[in-house]
Chain A
Amino acid sequence: MTLQVDADDVAHRESPQSVAHEQSARRIAGEEGLWVLLLGDMLIFALFFGTLVVTRADQPDVFHAGQQTLHPWLGITNTLLLLTGSILVVHGVRAVRNASGRAAGLFGGALACGLGFAGIKAVEYSLLIGQGHAAGSNDFYMYYFIFTGIHLAHLTIGLVILGFLIRLARRSPAGQVPSPSRVRLIECGGCYWHMVDLLWLVLFPLLYLVR
């Protein structure tokens, strides 16, 4: 508790210029430990990507037929939503650093994008299941539901994190630069959200577009 108060006191004495100078040096956004988690998760998804390419080569007709039943424009809309959520988080993190007081609203916009993604995904799932395509139908649908489901689970965790970031941002009114530890915490949340976006950028074309 004492340490936290000291850190906040230091932050209050720091000018925005000194913070900006510190940020101009080479530095890790967030914490080192977070990057172990992010890169580990990215490696696991790389195995998913490889599985899709190999299985497609084994069963090209099954994959092609499966792709024809997907709803690509829903997938494209979801990609645009995630990218937009990501840029809002970028601006949100900047707003925290600059103490502009706009961070909570920007993180809220990203949360809305994420909720939109989840809603569209639910519509896609229900359309597919309504057409009689379930995870057990064949290998294409099995991988489609498993990989997009795991990605959706990551997104759901991201939504909770965004809710946490909104709460943290509201505690830092305009003109008051948060403590460095709080900024790093917010950066960690932001980087996690970007990873959710980044993984979808490869999963989407592999499932929907690449023949």
Chain B
Amino acid sequence: MSVRDVRRLDTETGVWLILLGATVLTAVLGLEQAGASRAVGLVLLAVAFVKLRLVGLYFMELRTAPLPLRLLFEGYVAGVFIVLAGLYIGL
């Protein structure tokens, strides 16, 4: 195993730790909220899509994928988040 491979493993393990931390923190935030707060809901939604993007880029290796596929994925993340957030705030 080369030095470069070790560094890459460390990056992905770091991403995994961030994902675990974000999961617990946002869960506590979501469960502690008193009443229906749109701002908290929006934060929870935004963090979910950041996590989704991290899984795609680092675990599914889209970070190093050809540009069209990377753009399709980035478009999905941004597009679905904007539509959901718009529906959530607007309705």
* A17–B73 alpha-carbon span in the complex (Å): 30
- Asked whether A87 and B48 contact (CB < 8 A) given A57-B91, A211-B35, A211-B40, the answer is no
**How many A residues touch B, CB cutoff 8 Å?**
49
- Asked whether A79 and B1 contact (CB < 8 A) given A50-B84, A211-B33, the answer is no
Contact of B5 among A27, A28, A98 (CB under 8 A): A98
In contact, A198 and B23 (Cβ under 8 angstroms): no
In contact, B36 and A83 (Cβ under 8 angstroms): no
Residue of A nearest to B4 (CB): A20
* A56–B31 alpha-carbon span in the complex (Å): 17
In contact, A49 and B44 (Cβ under 8 angstroms): no
Q: Is A64 an interface residue (CB 8 A)?
A: yes
Q: Is A202 an interface residue (CB 8 A)?
A: yes
8 Å CB interface, A152-211 against B: 187, 191, 194-195, 197-198, 201-202, 204-206, 208-211
Which of B4, B8, B31, B59 is the most central at the interface, judged by chain A CB atoms within 10 Å of its CB? B59
Contacts of B62 in A (CB 8 A): 29
In contact, B87 and A54 (Cβ under 8 angstroms): yes
Q: Is A90 an interface residue (CB 8 A)?
A: yes
Contacts of B87 in A (CB 8 A): 50, 53-54, 57
In contact, B64 and A27 (Cβ under 8 angstroms): yes
* A43–B80 alpha-carbon span in the complex (Å): 9
Looking at chain A's contact residues, the main secondary structure is helix
In contact, B51 and A201 (Cβ under 8 angstroms): yes
8 Å CB interface, A52-82 against B: 53-54, 57-58, 60, 64, 72, 76, 79-80
Residue of A nearest to B41 (CB): A210
In contact, B55 and A194 (Cβ under 8 angstroms): yes
- Asked whether A26 and B65 contact (CB < 8 A) given A20-B2, A80-B20, A211-B35, the answer is yes
30 pairs, CB–CB < 8 Å, chain A vs chain B: A27-B64, A27-B66, A28-B65, A28-B69, A39-B72, A39-B76, A46-B76, A49-B80, A50-B83, A72-B27, A72-B30, A79-B23, A79-B27, A90-B12, A94-B9, A98-B1, A100-B1, A187-B61, A191-B60, A195-B60, A197-B55, A198-B52, A201-B52, A205-B44, A206-B45, A210-B41, A211-B33, A211-B35, A211-B36, A211-B40
